[in-house]
Amino acid sequence: MSLKASPTLSSRSGGCTLTGALSVTTHVRDAASIIHGPKGCAHHNFSLLHATGLDNDLAVIPALVSSALAENDIVFGGEEALARTIQAVSLRDVSAVFVLSTCIVDTIGDDVEAVCAREYGVPVIPVSTAGFLGGTFHDGVNKALISLAGIAQPIEHDRNVNIIGEMNLEYEVEENYAEILRLLTLLGLPAGIRFVHTLKFDEIGMLGAAQLNILRDPSLVPVGEFLKSRFGTPYISSFPHGLSGTLAFLKSVADTCKIDGSRAMGIERALQGEILADFADLGESRAVFSGPVSDPVSFQAAQETADALHIQVGKDSGSTPVPVHPVVGTAGVKRMLHRWRRALHA
Amino acid sequence: MKQIALYGKGGIGKSTTSANLSAALSERGLDILQIGCDPKRDSTRMLMHGRFIPTVMDLVRTQGDAAVTLADVEFKGYNNVRCVEAGGPEPGVGCAGRGIIATFQLLEKFGALNGDVIVYDVLGDVVCGGFAMPMREGYAQEIYLVTSGELMSLYAANNICKAIKRLSSRVKSKCRLAGVICNAKGQPREEELVAEFARRVNSSLIGFIPRDRVVQLAELNKKTVIEYEPASAQAECYRTLALRIMENTSLTIPTPLEIDELESLAYSFI
* Rounded average pLDDT per 10-residue block, chain A, 346 residues: 43 79 96 96 92 84 94 93 97 96 92 94 95 88 96 95 95 94 97 96 96 96 98 97 97 97 97 97 91 81 94 86 91 95 90
Q: How far apart are CA A340 and CA A344, in angstroms?
A: 6
Pick A71's closest partner by Cβ from B89, B90, B102.
B102
Identify the active-site residue in B42, B72, B125, B174.
B125
Identify the active-site residue in B2, B9, B38, B58.
B9
Question: What value, to the nearest 5°, has the Cα angle with vertex A77 and ends A151 and B121?
Answer: 155
- Statement to judge: residues A195 and A280 lie in one domain: no
- Would you call B102 and A76 a contact, using CB atoms and an 8 Å cutoff? no
- Would you call A75 and B89 a contact, using CB atoms and an 8 Å cutoff? yes
Provide, as residue numbers in chain B, all residues whose Cβ is less than 8 Å from the Cβ of A79: 93
Residue B31 has pLDDT above 60, yes or no: yes
Instruction: Tell which of A89, A116, A149 closes a domain.
Output: A149
Provide, as residue numbers in chain B, all residues whose Cβ is less than 8 Å from the Cβ of A76: 57, 61, 89-90, 93-94, 99
Catalytic residue check, B172? no
List the domain range (segments joined by +) for residue A183: 161-239
B→A contacts (Cβ < 8 Å), by residue, are 57, 60-61, 64-65, 88-90, 93-96, 98-99, 102
The torsion angle over the Cα atoms of residues A47, A49, A53 and A59, rounded to 10 degrees, is -60
Catalytic residue check, B174? no
Residue B247 has pLDDT above 80, yes or no: yes
- Statement to judge: residues A199 and A133 lie in one domain: no
Provide, as residue numbers in chain A, all residues whose Cβ is less than 8 Å from the Cβ of B61: 72, 76
Exposed, middle or buried, A229 (CB in 10 Å: 0-12/13-18/19+)?
exposed
- Would you call B102 and A75 a contact, using CB atoms and an 8 Å cutoff? yes
Residue type, A257: C
Provide, as residue numbers in chain A, all residues whose Cβ is less than 8 Å from the Cβ of B90: 76-77
Q: Do the domain assignments include residue A197?
A: yes
- Statement to judge: residues A193 and A290 lie in one domain: no
- pLDDT recorded at residue A103: 94
pLDDT tens, position by position, A111-137? 999 999 999 999 999 999 998 887 899
Q: Do the domain assignments include residue A281?
A: yes
Contacts of A127 by beta carbon, 8 Å cutoff, 6+ apart:
A21, A25, A98, A99, A100, A101, A143, A144, A147
- pLDDT recorded at residue A12: 53
pLDDT tens, position by position, A7-50? 444 445 678 999 999 999 999 999 999 999 999 999 999 999 99
Parse chain B into domains and list their residue ranges: 2-267
Residue of B nearest to A81 (CA): B94
A22 near A64, Cβ under 8 Å? yes
Q: 3-state DSSP call for residue B226?
A: helix
Pick left, alpha or beta for residue B31 (phi over 0 → left; psi -120 to 50 → alpha; otherwise beta).
beta
Instruction: Tell which of A217, A239, A261 closes a domain.
Output: A239
Catalytic residue check, B223? no
For chain A, helix, strand, coil in percent to 5 are 50, 15, 35
Q: Do the domain assignments include residue A191?
A: yes
B224 against B126, higher pLDDT: B224
CB pairs under 8 A between A and B: 42
ipTM score for this prediction: 0.73
Residue of B nearest to A77 (CA): B94
Kindly state the average pLDDT of the residues B245-260: 96
- Statement to judge: residues A32 and A60 lie in one domain: yes
Kindly state the average pLDDT of the residues B1-24: 95
- pLDDT recorded at residue A293: 66
| Chain A nearest C-alpha distance from B96 (Å) | 6
- Statement to judge: residues A98 and A24 lie in one domain: yes
- Statement to judge: residues A183 and A141 lie in one domain: no
| Domain count for chain A | 3
- Statement to judge: residues A172 and A138 lie in one domain: no
Residue of A nearest to B64 (CA): A72
A42 near A61, Cβ under 8 Å? no
- Would you call A75 and B93 a contact, using CB atoms and an 8 Å cutoff? no
Q: Do the domain assignments include residue A267?
A: no
pLDDT tens, position by position, B83-103? 999 999 988 889 998 899 889
CA A256 centroid distance within chain: 22
Q: Do the domain assignments include residue A309?
A: yes
- Would you call A76 and B96 a contact, using CB atoms and an 8 Å cutoff? no
- pLDDT recorded at residue A315: 80
- Statement to judge: residues A141 and A23 lie in one domain: yes
Residue B10 has pLDDT above 50, yes or no: yes
Identify the active-site residue in B40, B162, B165, B174.
B40
Pick B93's closest partner by Cβ from A72, A76, A107.
A76
Q: Do the domain assignments include residue A261?
A: no
Average per-residue pLDDT for chain B? 93
pLDDT confidence bin for B258, thresholds 50/70/90: very high
> What does each C-alpha distance from A250 to A243, A244, B62, B218 come to in angstroms?
11, 10, 65, 87
Report pTM. Answer: 0.82
- Would you call B96 and A75 a contact, using CB atoms and an 8 Å cutoff? yes
- Statement to judge: residues A194 and A116 lie in one domain: no
- pLDDT recorded at residue A291: 79
Q: How far apart are CA A314 and CA A326, in angstroms?
A: 20
- Statement to judge: residues A22 and A116 lie in one domain: yes
- pLDDT recorded at residue A1: 40
Nearest to A34 by CA among A3, A66, A78: A66
CATH for B2-267, options being 3.40.120.10, 3.20.20.80, 2.40.50.140, 3.40.50.300: 3.40.50.300
| Chain B nearest C-alpha distance from A107 (Å) | 9
Give the CATH number for residue A182.
3.40.50.1980
